[in-house]
Chains A and B, each alone.
Chain A
Amino acid sequence: MSLKIPALATLVVLGSYAGLGAAAVPLEYNRDIRPILAENCFPCHGPDSAARKAGLRLDRGEDALKAGVFVPGKPGESHLIERVFSADAKQVMPPVKTHKVLTAVQKEVLKRWVAEGAGYQLHWSFLLPKKPVLPQVKNNAWVRNPIDRFILAGLEKAGLSPAAEASKETLARRLSLDLTGLPPGSSMLKEFLADTRPDAYERFVDKLLESPAWGEQRGRYWLDAARYADTHGIHFDNFREMWSYRDWVIQALNANMPFDQFTLEQLAGDLLPQATLDQKIATGFNRCNITTNEGGAISEEYLVLYTRDRTETVSQVWLGLTFNCAVCHDHKFDPLSTKDFYSLSAFFNNTTQGAMDGNIKDTPPILPVPQRKDLPLWQAKVRDLEELNKRLEERKVKSKGDFDKWLCTAKADALMDKFPTKGLVASAKLQEGKGQKITFKVNGQDRVIDSPDIAWAKAAEPEEKALQVNKSGAITLDDVGDFERDQPFSFGAWVLAPRQPYGPFFARMDVPPAFQGWDFWYENGKFGMNLISSWNGSAIKVLTKAGFNPNVWHHAFVTYDGSSKAEGIKVYVNGVPQIMEIVNNNLTASTRTKAPFRLGSRQAGDGLQRATFHDLRIYNRALAVEEVAALGPAGKLAALIAKPAAQRTPAENNQLFDWWISTLDESSIELAKKSAQLDREEKQLRSLGTVAHVMNEKPETAMAFILQRGEYDRRKDKVSPFTPQVLPAMAKDLPRNRLGFAKWLLSPEHPLTSRVTVNRFWQEIFGQGLVRTTGDFGVTGELPSHPELLDWLALEFQAQKWDIKKFFKMLVTSAAYRQSAQISPEKLAKDLDNRLLSRGARYRLDAEVIRDYALASSGLLVRKVGGPSVRPYQPPGVWEAVAMIGSNTRDYKTDIGENLYRRSMYTFWKRAAPPASMEILNAPNRETCAVRRERTNTPLQALVTLNDPQFVEAARFLGERAMRDGGKDFSTRLDFVSTCLVARKFTLKEKDLIQNEFQELLAYYQKCQEDAGKLISFGDSKADAKLDRAELAAWTLTINSLMNLDEVLTR
């Protein structure tokens, strides 16, 4: 593998002109020149071929030289310099209309650069990191590990010295927050403060690295990058069940899976030999993108968007490159072409995932993830089921003789004899075919309904008309379908379902939220029934296991035996009994409702749009299988039987056979019954677990099209999977798929993966990356503050075999990390943004950490790792304001009990309306990859930490503990509180101020007991009744104030 370097980059060796000219330090292209050219020249004279003016490229030395824009060493003879210095508005570069103006200094630098030979360099991040020599420093005593040499060298050069080491208390809090996202527990803190061994610090670090909270804290950042959330994102924004991936991330990090393996499994776990279930779960990384199921959406348009999202995410996370510009045109600054982008995208363009998410929680491809303990049993059931189904298939082959025998004797009339009339309480042919009237027969009487919302469509077969309901729910009958749950009944019709995710064909059902009544339900191609007393605490819901295409005629029929059990419902499609899926099965109370029977809807306006049907029937008994068959396909089958055998087509014979084997062949029926039973058991085990959204390759070779301007319908050349030209080529022996790609990322010749990764880790600990533009290591990104340190870290990480814990330990045991955050005027002047690390990093905690901090320091936090996402407190209306009616994430139902107190990374993340308090505190929206978080400081944030019940309740809980366990007097209780909150004791001055406030609050609440009562009952948990309520109220509000201190909110 070799690195491609444009020829001219080596033409002039930079630095060889050192000593020439007045400047002591020679100019360096990457540091001094490229930023000027990139900002001012590359937009028109750079990599983007479409935008290029005058055919001139300045980003590649070879091209610039060939174009003759400069003569190395002779600025006086160089057009470039002439144009840049020109006073003529028509001549000057950059042109006036670009509004770009070079400063006098920049012009001089360009001139000097040409004078020094106009040397080029490949962009720094595309060059392999070089092992730097550890810098020599004056203050050797300060150095704890090699990191410190680089930092100290920078400080000494700037004439600064490092800050003193922070107090042990501060360090304990800082370490705990950085490594686990939680404050140190009191006992752990006490132990650490008392530990005088020389390696006490390292021991403390090790303990934190072993905590399960480590994986949660690191995982949280990773999930930002992976854009993990609990809904699909677009339109209905329904629930997506993929927390198994989130838990995989936490587990992998807790197990200290090396970063190379972590990468391989997430990008290509499914392609690994003998891939385990866990390795497949890991591929969820590429399934976290937002998806749609909006009616009317064009599939190809979204498939293109999904692939683009996956490609951009992988680029940001591993390559640190912003590829999205290259979607439409060659990158303006980086040598990344549109072809590069689409070639890269081809790796991620070969999945079996469809364009529409189906509004379901488990959009294929998925895998069942049973509970760990059930895994062997479940696997056995799956095997047995396969075996049984094989036997069913075999029976199909072997039963031909029996079928032929039956066929010889079968009589068409006999089939029609089964046509049921008994118990027919309501029916309608719905074949009037014109006009605004339809006739129902109710209990033997004709009833004419006249409605403007009647329309007519053609029924497929036989050639007849069918009713189309224009306005769903407009046609109603008050006295039809009034059944109690202990009454058997049956209903059905010939139906043509519209292309709509779900809705009822007809129903007798009350309005939400109870939904009392019953309906004939259609959901994602499946037929079913709801029988409800109150959804979903007392209700039955069943669906067919198989799906049926919309816009195709089916005879669909439902029978119910009056047992109040889901098992008592059978659904037939074209006369064939269906295997059922039980969604809900806990009906215990009355299902009768005063709501009328409605066509196409459960309540006016909410229903299947333009459902079409004819031959609608309702019986007051459960029909038998042959009766249903007679209703549906029997007419057709009878005609087939009546036909002379020689005239039947093979397809017609198959129709007869399919019907016969599922309704009359006893061996098959027996096998099918067993299969259904096993299927139920398998499903039962599965239902106790969860699912994983996974990647699954199509059998075809991966490819993609270059798209003009990125538009899905403007295809240009077809391209194969390939890595960007500017980076080292993939080794020949690597497969051209995601696995090969992942291995390419991890090869020692790759200049970016390790650099980008260690930079992100650095950012997690020091608040900003060595390269501050964490996701952009390209030309437009910022240069590293300490380039040699970045290279050293990148190589060290690989030398340590990508060991993440070891790497973080190295960071936090450096002297640089252990500095106090105190700022002096000198440092503020010379190192305003702390780029030199002249002091300990100090910044506001992340949204999740702020909430977790309140929970943990108060003692309310429930430390359960993983599992389904939870719904803690959220103000009313946040979801409802934006969600569609019918979205299953429209009504936010706050959990109770321990789910209120889980870590914030387990909070249910609805993409269209992220958790309100998290969003205010700058959590990314999880729609696209985020490798860096914003930190603002706003009044809305103050309102969250002051008023959110989560914080007030936590304050009260800590108050209760202080009153119980913090001794008798104010001072010891405050010590108890401050140890939990800031890992130190307040100074006397601080204590005085706090005590004054406390006394005033106490006086108030003693006077206004009612207010005290209100305050301490805010939140779900109950206050300790044994404690004095006024005093507890005063503590609650005092601690609420303390939780809002800058010191608490900041690390």
Chain B
Amino acid sequence: MSFNHLYHEHGLALTRRHFFQAGGNALGAAALASLGTGVLAADNLGGKPFNQFAPKAKNVIYLHMVGGPAQMDLFDYKPMMEQWYDKDLPDSIRKGQRLTTMTSGQARFPIAPSKFKFSQHGRAGMWFSELLPWKARMADDLCFIRSMNTEAINHEPAITYMQTGNQVTGRPCLGAWVSYGLGSLNRNLPTFVVMVANPTNTEQVQAISARLWQAGYLPGEHAAVPFRSRGDSILYLNNPPGVSSAIRRRTLDGIKQLNEITSQSVGDPETLTRIQQYEMAFRMQTSVPELTDMATEPVTTFKLYGEAAKKPGSFANSVLQARRLVERGVRFVQIYHNNWDTHANAAGRLPDQCRDVDQACFGLVQDLKQRGLLDSTLIIWGGEFGRTIYSQGGLSKQNYGRDHHPRCFTMWMAGGGCKPGAIYGETDDFSYNIVKDPVHIRDFHATILKLMGFDHERFTVRYQGLDQKLTGVETARVIPELLA
């Protein structure tokens, strides 16, 4: 038996720990496991069966609006509030619930009705604020949840909760779970990509951090790879100045030859893996420039997404990039768009915020639909919490501020097997408490996993002696009304 043959088998097993799957098979962990490489399945998935249903969605594009969009200024229409202008929020509504220390000291909680006009669209009659004309046009493509809720009242824990299922940092995020469970669809690109879009208005940009796209207790390669709008699109992707691709290829061949000698003499399977990783690095170097080159997009693309899509780093540019990534087999794309934290000047800032995302989202959904990718791509839009109906700071008919509000907020999804044109959940007249069909973050996560083909109860990984799951220890439920 030749040495190398033996090692190759171990090498294959070892590559489960790596960013891309081994060899010429563009296979994810799930696919490999289903081929009966038992070691792999057991190791990857804690010995549990998984991918229990045929997945509806193969890919996810998650658009996170950092800061918490004001649901009553965008989706959750509350006409009765007109009569409540500058009146105090009734105690019967607030129910002594905790507030952030930014407004808990306020003497009054005066109601600030939305200054924006609303109209109904689509077969289900969803309400849209005048700030979202493009979204209104595709009401029948979207699936709305008006009854999202969380316990977190501040950004850091709230975003962490939304992304990882726990307020305390350290758990894997949704994208990492999906990468871990489903693996890669391509040989040249990462499985999970994150982009941080630049908002046009930067009045109250909130902090985010690399911990939001981390792998937690999952193997490190399931963390997202940032795609950047400044410098190298992937960190260190470009060769040093004066080193062409051909020259780099020559040196990689040199490295390979010497590493093969090491492999022969030492016999460590890890050396073979390293050889493969260097080859993959080179493939990435050659495929990414093509991917990020927007020049190949026709004029119609920019008509669809808006002119802003030409500007590197803009939200529109990022979602267009997301489509290109998904087309090329990237499993999960996470985009952050900032500056939704409207403690003050809500009326002045929301138009800027909506202008950044409205047409771009329309473009993305329609583009995927035209390309036949919408059915297999789940788009998620939303923030980490909602905002208060009462004004923070000064109130006028024309302007107001709104504090964080965890008890209800609106999110929407599109494609990927979710129900188009659906509206789920209802809030009270103050958009303060949920009166029907609450959806907690963990229910939301359970539903997303279901769309990806996972039973959230059984999609677990063993860590610190426990079968950890995205939805945590409390009961979570899949919301059947959100499924197509």
Contacts and interface: CB of A to CB of B under 8 A. Distances in A.
B6 interface: yes
A198 B275 CA distance: 40
B368 interface: no
Interface in A883-926: 883-885, 887, 911-914, 916-917, 919-920, 922, 925
Contacts of B284: 939, 943
B393 A296 contact: no
Interface in B153-191: 153-156, 168-170
* Contact-size category for A: 35 or more
Interface in B191-228: 196, 201-211, 214, 219-221, 225-226, 228
B274 interface: yes
Contacts of A780: 464-466
A1013 B241 CA distance: 9
A885 B395 CA distance: 26
A786 interface: no
B397 to A, nearest CB: 10
Interface in B227-280: 228-232, 234-244, 247-248, 250-255, 257-259, 261-263, 265-268, 270-271, 273-275, 277-278, 280
A947 interface: yes
Contacts of B262: 1045-1047
Interface string A937-958: 1111111101111001000000
Interface residues of B, number: 106
A415 interface: no
Interface in A396-451: 436
A927 B220 contact: no
B314 interface: no
A938 B262 CA distance: 19
A1011 B168 contact: no
B261 A1001 contact: no
Interface stretch (B17-25, B297-305, B355-363, B426-434): B17-25
Contacts of B234: 940, 943
Contacts of B244: 1011
A948 B219 contact: no
Contacts of B473: 328
Contacts of A927: 169-170, 211
Nearest to A916: B235
A515 interface: no
A480 interface: no
Interface stretch (A62-70, A267-275, A588-596, A1036-1044): A1036-1044
A235 B155 contact: yes
Contacts of B202: 605, 885
A332 B466 contact: yes
A938 B403 contact: no
B80 interface: no
A912 B170 contact: no
Contact of B344 (A292, A470, A551, A941): A470
Interface in A990-1031: 990, 993-994, 996-997, 1000-1001, 1004-1005, 1008, 1010-1018
B464 A912 contact: no
Contacts of B237: 943, 947
Interface stretch (A375-383, A682-690, A699-707, A820-828): A820-828
Contacts of B464: 322, 324-325, 776, 780
A296 B19 contact: no
B231 A99 contact: no
**A456, A822, A914, A997: residue with the most chain B Cβ atoms closer than 10 Å:** A997
Interface stretch (A563-571, A644-652, A873-881): A873-881
A947 B239 contact: yes
A140 B357 CA distance: 74
B102 interface: yes
B242 A1013 contact: yes
Given A885-B202, A936-B221, A943-B236, A1046 B259 contact: yes
A877 B232 CA distance: 10
B235 A296 contact: no
B247 A1037 contact: yes
B101 interface: yes
A610 B251 contact: no
B19 A940 contact: yes
A882 B258 contact: no
Given A605-B203, A990-B261, A877 B228 contact: yes
Given A99-B48, A237-B209, A297 B101 contact: yes
A757 to B, nearest CB: 20
A499 B101 contact: yes
Nearest to A928: B170
B277 A938 contact: yes
A920 B235 contact: yes
B46 to A, nearest CB: 10
Interface of A is mostly: loop
B150 to A, nearest CB: 14
B105 interface: yes
Contact of A1015 (B6, B49, B242): B242
Contact of B242 (A234, A878, A917, A1033): A1033
Contact of A947 (B155, B236, B259, B278): B236
A452 B396 contact: yes
B337 to A, nearest CB: 13
Interface in A779-835: 779-781, 821-825, 828, 832
A934 interface: yes
Contacts of A1046: 259, 262-263, 268, 270-271, 274-275
A1049 B247 CA distance: 22
Nearest to A779: B465
A990 B221 contact: no
Given A295-B102, A468-B393, A990-B258, A917 B247 contact: no
Contact of A296 (B102, B211, B263, B277): B102
A844 interface: yes
B321 interface: no
Contacts of A297: 100-101, 154
Contacts of B250: 997, 1000-1001
Contacts of A499: 101-102, 105
Contact of B399 (A470, A940, A990): A470
B311 interface: no
Contacts of B258: 990, 993-994, 1042, 1045, 1047
Nearest to B99: A296
A455 interface: yes
**Residue picked from B6, B240, B250, B259, most chain A C-beta under 10 Å:** B240
B54 interface: no
Most chain B CB atoms below 10 A, which of A237, A551, A878: A878
Contacts of B394: 455-457, 468, 470, 610
B125 interface: no
Given A939-B284, A997-B251, A882 B220 contact: no
Given A455-B393, A1011-B243, A997 B277 contact: no
Contacts of B259: 1045-1046
A574 B100 CA distance: 31
Given A328-B473, A936-B18, A939-B19, 13 more contacts: A296-B154, A332-B466, A470-B394, A605-B203, A605-B345, A875-B232, A877-B230, A884-B206, A936-B219, A937-B273, A946-B236, A947-B240, A1045-B259
Interface of A: 38, 99, 234-237, 290, 292, 294-299, 305, 322, 324-325, 328, 332-333, 436, 452-453, 455-457, 468, 470-472, 499, 551, 605-606, 609-610, 713, 776, 778-781, 821-825, 828, 832, 842-844, 875-878, 880-885, 887, 911-914, 916-917, 919-920, 922, 925, 927-928, 934, 936-944, 946-949, 952, 989-990, 993-994, 996-997, 1000-1001, 1004-1005, 1008, 1010-1018, 1033, 1037-1038, 1040-1042, 1044-1047, 1049-1050
- Identify the 5 closest CB pairs spanning chains A and B, nearest first: A780-B465, A455-B394, A296-B100, A912-B209, A1015-B242
5 contacts: A297-B154, A452-B398, A453-B399, A780-B464, A1044-B278
